[in-house]
Structure 1
């Protein structure tokens, strides 16, 4: 077991209102022939401002579309685009999948890469890893790289204009960061950066948590109004930078392992990454035997944010024995991050915790006058 601690981070992080117009300014030092990866919807949002900034810096605008998931084939296709076009930097623009694909392709092609999220929906943009899925959205593997993105740029006006559900998902992803980092610190596991957690990584995970509890609800008010406020700026930084550094250099545990297991259940397809992670967070708290008040506070807060904390809200039920067993077995597979918990965990333990979560969350919500869970139905 390693005793070396590692901190990983992007070379530069840029955040602010209308920052997309300055992408060319920050990108020109990385390369002169960028390849932009963005789907049609995202491109429609950024093309005008981005292109004007590129023209000002005498950079060509070359964009390739992207599908839904970061699959091995999608990554390989981007590698071929990079090589055939002789591009020297690749830029993932949009959601986590486009960004993860750009990182993976940039690594394989031996060029620099940048992350430009258009929503604060996950903490993936800052990291030196990509999550690879099947065409159906089932988790395959993590791919790790020897360095982080050369640039992460996020325009908070774009975040304010995105659907509120994206920010909600990012909050769910980021709330897990502290829950998992403190568990990794107590145990003997390693962080995604390749060593034991650093004090800095763990502290940033806690800072992300504190910011979210103070600012998440007013930040969502800002997004629903389509405006940028200090609360939204704080949450964007917590979701993207602080959570990104916190998970990579602080450690993942059960919440993300259970998310990975949930991707194998067709009933959960269509949910955001952070929505599934939040089920993992509640389940981890149960597995840990966390204080009752802490669990109840978490359920109340995440319900108010709009995150699922029952099986019902991710399309499952305690009676779905076969599916829950499959989720638990995937979550406890060898090498999964659940083994960073400071105690052994079996698939049976995970099934029991998942079953308990349903009744527990329903009880807490009823006691606080919060809405009953609404059944999620995946669109197939």
Structure 2
């Protein structure tokens, strides 16, 4: 057991309406020749604002398109382009995979890196690690870096203009933060930051949870209206900053390991990271024998948010043979599920996964909430 406690964080975090207008001078403090990485859809949305801000400080705009996943090939290609162009800072603009690829490439190229998420859909932007996937979108590995991003900048008007499903997914990812951090604190496991959790990291994970329960439904209303409100600002901060600090310095446990296992099931492809994490969180609550009222409240709340809490909603069933493969992948050596305060076997995990189906259906029926709808990957 480690006796060293570690807290990790980005050098600077900037959030607010029209924050993109401040990018130029902030980026100029980090480098003179940035490489901007964004897919075509994202660039069509934020490209004009980014270009205007950079032009204001005389910085050239060089943009590299991006595909779907942060794969080994995608990262290596970015490294080649960074070196060929003589870039001294690389900027990931868009979703979690774009930002993860940029972090990995910036590390390999030994330059600074910046995260500019265009939706509050995950906590990837703040962390010193990347999730690398196969070409088919299955989890491959974590890559860890000696530092966090030099700058994280998120424009809440851009978040408000994004599809509501992105914010829903971010809430699902962030809700796991406290459930996992408290499990790690109870046990002897280490965090992604490389030591035991600090009291600060665990407290930030709890603050993330509290802000989400208080503000999520109103924040979703704001996004549907494409407006920026205090509730939206609170949820963006929870999804992006607090969840990032909380998971990295508070610890990951079963929920994210289950997410990684679910990526091996083809039926779940097309779902967001946060949707699969939410299944992991509920399954972790069952695994640890959480109080019945807490489990019931979680099912009710996540149903209202629009997150899946049954196997049906991720394309699986209690009879799916893939559950065994999911459990096996989630419990391999080195997975975060081993930070739980008790041993977890594949059989235990299969039982917990099967349990959430009837549990959630019962709770939803008791509260007059909709029955689950089968997810079918297109």
Q: TM-score, normalised by structure 2?
A: 1.00
Q: Secondary structure at the match of 2:132?
A: strand
Aligned equivalent of 1:166: 166
Q: Measure how far apart 1:29 and its partner are.
A: 0.7
Q: Secondary structure at the match of 1:310?
A: coil
CA distance in 2, matches of 1:3, 1:297: 35
Aligned equivalent of 2:79: 79
Aligned equivalent of 1:295: 295
Deviations 1:35-77 (A, max 9, x none): 0000000000111111111011111100000000000000000
Once the two structures are superposed, the pairs formed by residues 94-133 of structure 1 within 5 Å of their partners are: 94-133=94-133
Aligned equivalent of 1:178: 178
Q: Measure how far apart 1:21 and its partner are.
A: 1.5
Deviations 1:105-156 (A, max 9, x none): 0000000000000000001100000000001100000000000000000000
Aligned equivalent of 1:218: 218
CA distance in 2, matches of 1:211, 1:26: 28
Asked if residue 330 in structure 1 is aligned to residue 340 in structure 2, the reply is no
Deviations 1:247-278 (A, max 9, x none): 00000000000000000000000000000000
CA distance in 2, matches of 1:99, 1:20: 16
RMSD between aligned residues: 0.4
Q: Secondary structure at the match of 1:48?
A: helix
Deviations 1:331-367 (A, max 9, x none): 0000000011100100000000000000000000000
Q: Secondary structure at the match of 1:142?
A: strand
Aligned equivalent of 1:352: 351
CA distance in 2, matches of 1:112, 1:98: 16
CA distance in 1, matches of 2:39, 2:20: 16
CA distance in 2, matches of 1:35, 1:21: 18
Query: Unpaired segments of 5 or more residues in structure 1?
Result: none
After the TM superposition, list the runs of 4 or more consecutive aligned residues in structure 1 that deviate by more than 6 angstroms. Answer: none
Deviations 1:9-44 (A, max 9, x none): 000000000111211111111100000000000000
CA distance in 1, matches of 2:15, 2:25: 14
Once the two structures are superposed, the pairs formed by residues 191-340 of structure 1 within 5 Å of their partners are: 191-320=191-320, 322-340=321-339
CA distance in 2, matches of 1:142, 1:84: 26
Aligned equivalent of 2:360: 361
Contact 1:22 1:50 in 2 (8 A): no
CA distance in 1, matches of 2:348, 2:355: 11
Q: TM-score, normalised by structure 1?
A: 0.99
Q: Measure how far apart 1:2 and its partner are.
A: 1.1
Asked if residue 146 in structure 1 is aligned to residue 146 in structure 2, the reply is yes
Query: Unpaired segments of 5 or more residues in structure 2?
Result: none
CA distance in 2, matches of 1:21, 1:263: 37
CA distance in 2, matches of 1:256, 1:8: 19
CA distance in 1, matches of 2:231, 2:243: 16
Q: Secondary structure at the match of 2:141?
A: strand
